[in-house]
Structure 1
Amino acid sequence: MYKADIVYSPMILAREFVRHENARMSDFSTSETDRPLILQIGANNVTDLLRMCEMVQPYVDGIGLNCGCPIKDQVREGIGAALMSKKDLVADMISAVKKKFGDKLTMEIKIRVHPDVNETLEFVKCAEDAGVDFITVHGRTKDTRSSVACDFEKIKLVKQHARVPIVANGDCRSLEDAYRIAKLTGCDGVMAVRGVLYNPGMFAGHVKTPWGAVERFWDLSTNYGLPFRLIQHHLSCMLDGQLLKELHIQLNEANSLAELLDFFDEKFILKRQGEEGFGEAIDVPYRESKVAGESHCSLSTEAPSIPVATVH
């Protein structure tokens, strides 16, 4: 509906997933319509990666080995961005997955660039030789702050040397950004993370989250049991800048799912699955008259289609 070609799960730690049933129950759920889906995995050894792949293979279209997460706790465990200095280990993990599953499981890696881009090119070549299907490249190093602009020239250089499809990642907050980044880098696709967190309709040309996406999120999150605080956080992000400050504070101060749902039903017209017009509204439908000065707008575009990917 919102024109993302691929969605990703949050990063799930393979070590915990393969060892603990509670982790499997709480960290991963999906449905037949949740496709195509790349399951993003945090792993630092072949054994855990293969075991996790065996468990999830029937339910996903591919797995993504995260080699870019800069969170210090993960790096200390040899996960995420720690793998950027271990290209041989990454190659071993890619090779093991492709040897076992072949074309049954697409293998992607998500990386960051190195301070010396030549090291990134060597890393990419090593991954390609091991059989990786495509690579997502974030244009910052593991130590670069998010406030520093993404280095699209390095991503462009990677694309020029790569033999597999390359997806550009970083600083994509609108559909306009996606086309600009695609043109700058020549990449085969563009990934958005924070952009779609704040606006799931971004790739469909909406400049703000359409209300229909809020209704659909409520429906999916309650049906599949997303924890309350995650529901609250996502709704807070999706409606950032669309609500009066007082209402946004009330949303964030709710202390239970029932309280949050009551708040939405009291302040807005929140349709349920099966009701006429469910998931179709664009502007926030207040139960009381809209306050002057609020802006609720959407944008449609007929720009040429490019492959895009979002974090799920």
Structure 2
Amino acid sequence: MEATGSLPRTDIMKLFSACSRPLNVCAPMVRYSKLPFRELVRRYNCDIVYTPMILADVFASSNYARECEFSTNWLDDPVVIQFAASNGVDLANAAELAAPYVSGIDINCGCPQKWAIHEKIGSHLMSDPETVRDMIRTTKARVDVPCSIKIRIHKDLRETEEFVKRALSVGVDFITVHGRTKKQKSSEPINLDGIKLVKETSTVPVIANGDVFTKEDADELVKATGVNGTMSARGILENPALYAGHTVTPWECIETYVDLALSYGTNAFIFHHHLMYMMENVMSNAERRTFNSLTSIPSILEYLEDNYDLDISKRRRSSVLA
């Protein structure tokens, strides 16, 4: 963690109650929801931004892991740090270290990858509500920031209802629900009834996740389920400006990302992949093949300068003068 001491942070629970509209949320995305991207989406009407999923036991035991996995600053607010854990002690140990720098601690109960299930984290926890309840209870006893869970739905929605009730019984502060089971592919439609059930069961704010690619998608999801906010993953990765109403990524947004990524020292792999996602719909197949073959930051910048008139030096001069 780059910051030291503690940072003033927005009270997320007050944000839920004070905001007159549903909140816009950027999902936790492995590798991608790092500090430069979090700063970018905030400039386009994103209210809450999550870190990537972080392994709680590694975070708690390794200073090197903390430095690599979580960087923050004064502008990174409100930020929710998402941990993957298999027990309450590991989660609480990690949460205690992160709490001075975040607005919330989130428990990942949704990652469907086989390795995560093998480690008894992520979506494995959807079949172990007692462990989740213990993690919430143990963590809330040791930190004074909100504790949330990000869940999926069960094939039998009665299990989802019971899962939510158990989390509520130990004081979970808010819930994010991905409207698919752990076995469903992202190409399958989300279960609106499942999300609506979570909202109707819950006595705390609920955020809906799944198939939010445009502002209209977010509005329709709220209308159909009554949730307090929507979360986007694939959609906001492709178009970081979607919550500002843009249907495709505006060029200004791409320029801003390049500037931020270079300023924060983003590695070439993540830098390249973010731009690949953002420019997916503006490049021809031939352009895409060429761009996707680039392997270094200088070659990427040269391509953007030659083909899209990118001029970061000019942009930075303009920012200073402004």
**TM-score when normalising by structure 2:** 0.82
Are 2:89 and 2:138, in contact at CA under 8 Å, matched by a contact in 1?
Answer: no
Q: Tell me the CA shift for residue 9 of structure 1.
A: 1.0
| Match of residue 209, structure 1, among 231, 249, 253 | 249
Deviation readout 1:38-65 (Å, 9 max, x if unpaired): 1111111112211211221122111111
| Match of residue 93, structure 2, among 48, 51, 59 | 51
| Match of residue 110, structure 2, among 46, 68, 72 | 68
**Structure 2 match to 1:286:** none
Q: RMSD over aligned Cα, in angstroms? A: 1.5
Equivalent-residue separation in structure 1 for 2:265 and 2:121 (angstroms): 28
**Structure 1 match to 2:224:** 184
**Structure 1 match to 2:23:** none
Equivalent-residue separation in structure 2 for 1:16 and 1:267 (angstroms): 43
Equivalent-residue separation in structure 2 for 1:259 and 1:55 (angstroms): 39
Equivalent-residue separation in structure 2 for 1:4 and 1:127 (angstroms): 27
Please list, as runs of the form range in 1=range in 2, the aligned pairs for 1:11-90 lying within 5 A after superposition.
11-90=53-132
**Structure 1 match to 2:235:** 195
SS at match of 2:106: strand
Q: Runs of 5+ in structure 1 lacking a partner?
A: 279-312
SS at match of 1:181: helix
Are 2:48 and 2:78, in contact at CA under 8 Å, matched by a contact in 1?
Answer: yes
Equivalent-residue separation in structure 2 for 1:22 and 1:97 (angstroms): 23
Q: Tell me the CA shift for residue 277 of structure 1.
A: 7.4
Equivalent-residue separation in structure 2 for 1:202 and 1:121 (angstroms): 31
Deviation readout 1:118-137 (Å, 9 max, x if unpaired): 11111101111111110001
Deviation readout 1:58-104 (Å, 9 max, x if unpaired): 221111110011011011101100011111111111111211223xx
Equivalent-residue separation in structure 2 for 1:238 and 1:85 (angstroms): 36
Q: Runs of 5+ in structure 2 lacking a partner?
A: 1-42
Equivalent-residue separation in structure 2 for 1:197 and 1:237 (angstroms): 6
| Match of residue 147, structure 2, among 95, 102, 107 | 107
Equivalent-residue separation in structure 1 for 2:102 and 2:57 (angstroms): 19
Equivalent-residue separation in structure 2 for 1:219 and 1:52 (angstroms): 32
Q: Tell me the CA shift for residue 266 of structure 1.
A: 2.0
Equivalent-residue separation in structure 1 for 2:100 and 2:193 (angstroms): 38
Q: Which amino acid aligns with 2:59?
A: F
2:210 corresponds to 1:162: no
Which stretch shows the higher mean deviation, 243-252 or 44-53? 243-252
2:189 corresponds to 1:149: yes
2:170 corresponds to 1:130: yes
Equivalent-residue separation in structure 2 for 1:135 and 1:78 (angstroms): 20
Equivalent-residue separation in structure 2 for 1:220 and 1:28 (angstroms): 16
Percent pairwise identity: 42
**TM-score when normalising by structure 1:** 0.85
Equivalent-residue separation in structure 1 for 2:169 and 2:89 (angstroms): 20
Equivalent-residue separation in structure 1 for 2:264 and 2:116 (angstroms): 27
Deviation readout 1:125-151 (Å, 9 max, x if unpaired): 111111111000111110111111100
Q: Tell me the CA shift for residue 11 of structure 1.
A: 0.5
Counting matched residue pairs gives 276
Q: Tell me the CA shift for residue 112 of structure 1.
A: 0.3
Are 2:96 and 2:142, in contact at CA under 8 Å, matched by a contact in 1?
Answer: no
Equivalent-residue separation in structure 2 for 1:116 and 1:239 (angstroms): 39
SS at match of 1:38: strand
Please list, as runs of the form range in 1=range in 2, the aligned pairs for 1:227-266 lying within 5 A after superposition.
227-266=267-306
**Structure 1 match to 2:31:** none
- Structure showing the higher helix proportion among its residues: 2
Equivalent-residue separation in structure 2 for 1:236 and 1:167 (angstroms): 28
Q: Tell me the CA shift for residue 250 of structure 1.
A: 2.0
**Structure 2 match to 1:293:** none
Equivalent-residue separation in structure 2 for 1:202 and 1:251 (angstroms): 23
Equivalent-residue separation in structure 2 for 1:25 and 1:224 (angstroms): 14
SS at match of 1:63: strand
Are 1:29 and 1:224, in contact at CA under 8 Å, matched by a contact in 2?
Answer: no
